[in-house]
Structure 1
Amino acid sequence: MSEADRHAVADGASRPAPRLNERILSSLSRRSVAAHPWHDLDIGHDAPAAFNVVVEISKESKVKYELDKKTGLIKVDRVLYSSVV
Structure 2
Amino acid sequence: MANLIHEIAHCKELAEKADLRFASRLLDMCLLEVAMEWEGRGRLEPLGDEELLIVLLRSKLKIAVSGAGRSITVGSPPPRRPPADPDQT
Name the TM-score class by shorter chain. under 0.3
Could you say which structure has the higher strand fraction?
1
More helix, by proportion: 2
Task: With the length of structure 2 as denominator, give the TM-score of the two structures.
Answer: 0.21
